[in-house]
């Protein structure tokens, strides 16, 4: 049963991380959550947990209804799913009982007794009555059973089913297109602030042009049509007939979201060998048409202004251009070329040639660095082999028989081999590293969208975007970072009125920065908002039973209570935050990445979260210690100090075990030899050494025989058979060929608390 409970806990954690960043209408995420809920229902049923089974099954049915468009109020549906996941976690922790689950299902109209009307009750409860004109619309076609993740606004089903020989072409298109859409999204947000930036405008235009061309070749007609329409918007801006403003940026971003779903659906359909579901793009096409028909003209065009080109080539006199520019200022605003043609100053063909010259000047590209795409599995294998090479080189050099030889040439050759392998390791490790810039730039849209929903004015500043981070960490780190940035916007920054009353500018500031410090990558999320309310946090923690007393807690310990499961001080649950699911998932993800979080906050001044992460997941910077004949490795990030205590600094406290007095504070003692079950050389603390380790703001003294030193080691998995040993995080082959075990600091703390 304990194994099944661990699996259920893992699935609930996965669901919590999925729902914390869930947006209403995000069909791709809906499909992932549905899969997790189905898995939870099966495992809970096998573990004879009927209460949890009912909860998972009811949430699964609700999610199916949301995917099929049967739940009108998607916001309410998302809130229900999120609350249900939080309740499931509380139930598993014994913080909620069966009656709580039954009450939740009854409140949401999802009790089994209510079938088959439970889904309708959720829908009715979630949304107001539809207007009459909407009620008469025919329902969207139901997607095929094989593709429940199909879009709710389906416009039908395509005729084609991709043959096996075409699948490779499609997969290549999908990979490239998704990268293009990411590029468009980033550059469009830059373009909103600098609409006159010619290079950025072209950087948004070109990917649309590429997607349009390739999708047409692959007979993806609807994708081709939407990409072509959006390309026209950018083309009009390039020709000077349209000013890029917020309305245009909103349209481009909406188009990117739709194209991303359409392209992913095309891939899913091809892999499942079924016709793909078509999306209804009519509303987006109508928005494009409205924007183009009502767009304002401007005399400034990409590259040189059109009028300047016409004058320089001798086609028209400058006074004719000036006259046309004066006319252009009056409604209806028409393109300069059109006005010159109407005046009889130029021929249409001459304007066309001048616009062509203008575009040629605008699309001149700067040389870019060349790159080669490599399968990540091949790259990971190369990195593993280089790690093995470094270990083998160290073993050869440390071999006693080799060290006995007095051959100077052999010594020089071994030194040269050591330098080469060291450089090779550095070069291959750098392949894993990618600038954090792309992850940071995604936060621009997160802040833009969240601030609009919260009706706040917020400026996001990015610093240290060139700082590199392990590519395997980027994906795992994205969701926690996004959640913390959204929290800064929703909880940290005040409304414009509140800021003005407090004597602050009405526009708040969030600063996202990255830098290297002490062998780690540090990421800071800093805001100039209201700061964390210490008393409010303590009151909520006491109310929820997270702590039993508030005395003796310093500010950092109080602030870190926000990372406890189910903790939230939000008065109102919104689609942005306040559901009590999220910060504990953030902490768990950072723990998995072997990182830690520090919080500094001043009332009325703002809050700074600093996340310290290792440079790479493949290598650990560790402190090597010995107990008996065995070596163990502690992550350096968790080590505060090491010392040999005096006999009078050792004491025992009734009910709290052994303690060591360090600078006026009593810190609990953990005997490492008891945890790992080996025979030590020294049992008395004043004869041995203690290493002070930290975890989530708490400290423990770890008793060891001796310190060997600090060393970087390549992490190796211990395999499935040792996976359940909670105090071990992995292993490493040391320079002398012996194996050192990497200790899991969190596991040691939990072992001591038993």
DSSP run (H or E) holding 516? strand 507-517
Whether residue 560 is contained in a domain is answered as yes
**Tens digits of residue pLDDT in 232-249:** 888 888 777 777 888 888
Asked if 117 and 177 sit in the same domain, the reply is: no
User: 456: which 2 tokens?
Assistant: 């706040």
Residues with Cβ within 8 Å of residue 128, at least 6 apart in sequence: none
CA distance 534 to 696: 17
- Is the predicted pLDDT of residue 647 greater than 80, yes or no? yes
Whether residue 153 is contained in a domain is answered as no
User: 442: which 2 tokens?
Assistant: 């995604």
Asked if 125 and 55 sit in the same domain, the reply is: yes
Whether residue 144 is contained in a domain is answered as no
CA distance 475 to 456: 28
Residues with Cβ within 8 Å of residue 3, at least 6 apart in sequence: none
**Tens digits of residue pLDDT in 302-349:** 456 777 777 877 788 888 888 877 776 676 556 677 677 777 787 766
Q: What's the confidence (pLDDT) of residue 119?
A: 38
**Sign of the torsion angle spanned by Cα atoms 630, 635, 638, 640:** positive
**653 or 552: which carries more pLDDT confidence?**
653
Of the candidates 388, 416, 434, which is a domain's last residue? Answer: 434
- Is the predicted pLDDT of residue 622 greater than 80, yes or no? yes
Indicate the pLDDT class of residue 3, thresholds 50, 70 and 90: low
Mean pLDDT of 351-357: 65
Whether residue 640 is contained in a domain is answered as yes
Whether 264 contacts 175, CB under 8 Å? no
Average model confidence (pLDDT) across the chain:
78
Indicate the pLDDT class of residue 579, thresholds 50, 70 and 90: very low
Indicate the pLDDT class of residue 625, thresholds 50, 70 and 90: very high
- Written as one string, the DSSP assignment of 278-304 is EE--HHHHHHHHHHHHHPPP-S--SSS
Whether residue 311 is contained in a domain is answered as yes
User: 96: which 2 tokens?
Assistant: 């909620």
Asked if 198 and 122 sit in the same domain, the reply is: no
Q: Is 680 helix (H, G, I), strand (E, B) or coil?
A: coil
Asked if 40 and 97 sit in the same domain, the reply is: yes
Whether residue 368 is contained in a domain is answered as no
CB-CB neighbours of 728 under 10 Å: 18
User: 68: which 2 tokens?
Assistant: 């099929």
Whether residue 367 is contained in a domain is answered as no
DSSP run (H or E) holding 50? helix 50-67
As for how many domains the chain has, the answer is 6
E strands within 592-676? Answer: 596-602, 606-614, 619-627, 630-635, 639-643, 650-653, 657-662, 665-671
Asked if 441 and 531 sit in the same domain, the reply is: yes
Mean pLDDT of 377-391: 80
Q: Which of these, 712, 693, 568, 643, lies nearest to 86 by C-alpha position?
A: 568
DSSP 489: I
Find the domain containing 97 and state its range. 2-139
**Tens digits of residue pLDDT in 593-606:** 888 888 999 999 99
Whether residue 154 is contained in a domain is answered as no
Whether 716 contacts 733, CB under 8 Å? yes
Q: Which of these, 19, 38, 22, 30, lies nearest to 85 by C-alpha position?
A: 19
Asked if 624 and 706 sit in the same domain, the reply is: yes
């Amino acid at each position: 049963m304990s194994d099944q409970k661990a699996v259920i806990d893992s699935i609930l954690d996965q669901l919590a991380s999925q729902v914390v960043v869930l947006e209403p209408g995000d069909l791709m995420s809906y499909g992932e959550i549905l899969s997790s809920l189905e898995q939870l229902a099966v495992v809970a049923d096998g573990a004879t947990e009927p209460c949890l089974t009912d909860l998972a099954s009811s949430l699964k049915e609700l999610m199916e209804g949301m995917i099929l468009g049967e739940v009108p109020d998607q916001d309410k549906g998302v809130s229900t799913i999120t609350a249900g996941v939080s309740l499931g976690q509380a139930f598993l922790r014994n913080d909620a009982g069966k009656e709580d689950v039954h009450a939740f299902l009854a409140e949401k109209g999802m009790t089994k007794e209510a079938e088959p009307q439970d889904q309708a009750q959720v829908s009715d409860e979630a949304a107001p009555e539809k207007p009459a004109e909407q009620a008469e619309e025919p329902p969207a076609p139901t997607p095929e059973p094989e593709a429940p993740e199909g879009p709710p606004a389906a416009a039908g089903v395509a005729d084609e089913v991709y043959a096996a020989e075409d699948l490779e072409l499609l997969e290549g298109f999908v990979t490239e297109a998704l990268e293009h859409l990411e590029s468009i999204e980033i550059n469009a947000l830059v373009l909103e602030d600098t609409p006159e930036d010619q290079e950025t405008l072209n950087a948004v235009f070109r990917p649309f042009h590429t997607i349009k061309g390739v999708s047409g070749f692959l007979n993806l007609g609807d994708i081709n049509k939407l990409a072509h329409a959006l390309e026209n918007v950018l083309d009009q801006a390039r020709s000077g007939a349209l000013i890029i403003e917020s309305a245009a940026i909103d349209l481009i971003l909406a188009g990117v979201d739709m194209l991303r779903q359409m392209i992913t659906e095309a891939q899913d359909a091809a892999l499942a060998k079924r016709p793909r579901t078509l999306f209804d793009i009519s509303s987006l096409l109508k928005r494009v048409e409205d924007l183009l028909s009502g767009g304002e003209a401007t005399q400034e065009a990409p590259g040189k202004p059109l009028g300047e080109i016409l004058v320089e080539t001798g086609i028209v006199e400058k006074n004719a251009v000036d006259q046309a520019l004066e006319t252009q200022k009056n409604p209806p605003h028409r393109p300069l070329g059109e006005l010159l043609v109407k005046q009889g100053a130029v021929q249409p063909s001459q304007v066309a040639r001048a616009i062509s010259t203008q575009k040629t000047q605008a699309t001149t590209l700067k040389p870019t660095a060349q790159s080669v795409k490599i399968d990540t599995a091949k790259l990971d294998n190369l990195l593993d082999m280089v790690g093995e090479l470094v270990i083998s080189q160290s073993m050869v050099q440390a071999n006693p028989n080799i060290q006995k030889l007095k051959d100077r040439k052999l010594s020089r050759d071994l030194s040269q081999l050591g330098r080469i392998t060291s450089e090779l390791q550095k070069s291959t490790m750098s392949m894993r590293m990618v600038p954090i810039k792309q992850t940071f730039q995604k936060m621009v849209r997160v802040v833009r969208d969240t601030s609009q929903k919260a009706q706040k004015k917020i400026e996001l500043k990015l610093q240290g975007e060139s700082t590199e981070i392990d590519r395997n960490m980027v994906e795992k780190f994205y969701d926690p970072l996004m959640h913390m940035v959204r929290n800064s916007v929703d909880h940290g920054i005040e409304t414009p009125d509140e800021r003005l009353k407090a004597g602050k500018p009405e526009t708040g500031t969030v600063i996202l920065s990255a830098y290297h410090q002490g062998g780690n990558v540090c990421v800071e999320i800093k805001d100039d908002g209201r700061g964390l309310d210490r008393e409010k946090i303590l009151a909520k923690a006491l109310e929820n039973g997270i702590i039993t007393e508030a005395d003796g807690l310093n500010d950092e310990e109080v602030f870190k209570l926000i990372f406890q499961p189910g903790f939230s001080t939000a008065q109102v649950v919104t689609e942005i935050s306040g559901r009590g699911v999220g910060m504990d998932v953030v902490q768990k993800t950072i723990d998995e990445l072997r990182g830690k979080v520090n919080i500094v906050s001043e009332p009325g001044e703002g809050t700074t979260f600093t996340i310290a992460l290792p440079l790479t997941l493949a290598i650990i910077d560790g402190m090597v210690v010995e107990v008996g004949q065995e070596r163990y490795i502690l992550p350096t990030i968790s080590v505060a100090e090491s010392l040999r205590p005096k006999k009078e600094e050792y004491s025992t406290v009734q009910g709290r075990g052994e303690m060591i007095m360090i600078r006026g504070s009593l810190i609990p003692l953990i005997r490492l030899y008891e945890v790992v079950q080996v025979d030590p050389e020294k049992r008395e603390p004043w004869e041995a050494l203690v290493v002070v380790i930290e975890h989530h703001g708490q400290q423990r003294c770890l008793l060891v025989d001796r310190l060997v030193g600090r060393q970087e080691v390549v992490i190796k998995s211990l395999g499935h058979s040792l996976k359940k040993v909670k105090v071990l995080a992995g292993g490493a082959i040391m320079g002398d060929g012996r194996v050192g075990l990497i200790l899991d600091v969190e596991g040691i703390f939990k072992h001591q608390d038993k």
